[in-house]
Amino acid sequence: MAMRIRTVKPELYRHRDLYELEQETQLPIRFAWTGLFGVCDREGRFRWEPEVIKLDVLPFDNLNFGWVLDALAAKGFLIKYRPKYVEPGNTCTHVQARAEKCIGWIPTFLKHQRPNLREAKSNLPLLDDTCEVIPVEFPAISQRTCTHMHARGEVEMEGKGNGSGRELLPARSDKKAGKTIVTWEAYRGAYEKRYGVAPVRNKTINSQLAHFTDRIGEVEAPLVAEFYLSHNDAFYVKSMHSVGLMLRDAEKLRSEWATGRKMTASAARSAESLDHYQDQMRRISEGSL
């Protein structure tokens, strides 16, 4: 496994939830958490292989790294899921087998990281409504009493079971939710950073996010959404960066994000004036004016 180069924000060292989890479990949670950034691909996903990950993150520590992953997942820092698997040549779509190996995902990855665009795209399945979310518990830690903000509401869940525990499964109420999870997390994080409050989320916004992701692509959509919140175009600011405007200008925003050039109304007027000036000079030189 090749570790990627990642960055760590100063705020991470004052993350109280990570500190309390480390004290509660007596495991090297904070060091392992930063190490997982390097294990993840550009979309925050990794293969749930504790023994393999330990070789890169904590090679000299005498501990079960599976405990570390379980503790992080139980508190909502990670989501563990099993994607659907279709054998080559199998054309049946109504019956899907489940892959044996699980995937881990950091829901807040794009809030912490801005991966290099030259980095290879993820080849791990995205968490969507076809996946099985694996409930994880750790001694003295329960997802039902979790207080970590990213364990609530980021993935729509519903309870199902016999009453002895809670099996977490993707909610069936919104089939589009799966592919917009990362995009919403990027938008929500950037929105809270700019405005200091969480954005509203409802069925209309879910639909807009799904269309936005379809137009931009699942890989780039979260990065463009985060870029959108940094845009100071007067119209965007006046609307407080609504999802509707992000959808309306999807391709424009993607081009600006990719080129690093923002086209505001004043910039457009300046470009138009320059074009008019150059046209006038051309006509003068040609003697037609």
pLDDT of 120 strictly over 90: no
Inform me whether the pLDDT recorded for 22 exceeds 70: yes
The pLDDT value recorded for residue 166 is 34
- In 3D space, the residue among 60, 5, 78 whose CA is nearest the CA of residue 35 turns out to be 5
Residue with tokens 């550009």: 42
Mean per-residue pLDDT for 141-150?
Answer: 40
Query: Which residue, chain included where needed, has tokens 């405990």?
Result: 67
Burial (CB count within 10 angstroms: exposed 0-12, middle 13-18, buried 19+), residue 242: middle
Dist CA 74 CA 80 (whole Å): 10
**pLDDT for res 126:** 87
Burial 100-131 (b: 16+ CB within 10 A, else e): eebbbbbbbbbbbbebeeeeeebebbbbbbeb
Claim: this prediction has a pTM higher than 0.75: no
Q: pLDDT per residue over 81-109, tens digit each?
A: 998 764 455 444 333 444 468 999 998 88
Give residue 158's identity as a one-letter amino acid code: E
Confidence of residue 212 (pLDDT cuts 50, 70, 90): very high
- Which residues, other chains included, contact 1 with Cβ-Cβ below 8 Å and sequence gap of 6+? 39, 52, 53, 55, 56
CB 21 within 8 A of CB 52: no
pLDDT score at 151:
40
The pLDDT confidence band at residue 185, using thresholds 50, 70 and 90, is confident
The set of residues, in sequence order, having a beta carbon less than 8 Å from that of 100 and lying 6+ positions away, is none
Residue 157 in tokens: 């869940």
Which of these, 54, 86, 82, lies nearest to 67 by C-alpha position? Answer: 54
Select from 61, 64, 56, 12 the least CA-distant residue to 36.
Answer: 56
CB 160 within 8 A of CB 167: yes
Residues 6+ apart with CB under 8 A from 107: 44, 79, 150, 154, 155, 181, 182, 185
Distance CA 59, CA 53 (A): 9
Contacts of residue 207, defined as CB under 8 A and 6 or more positions apart, other chains included, come to 176
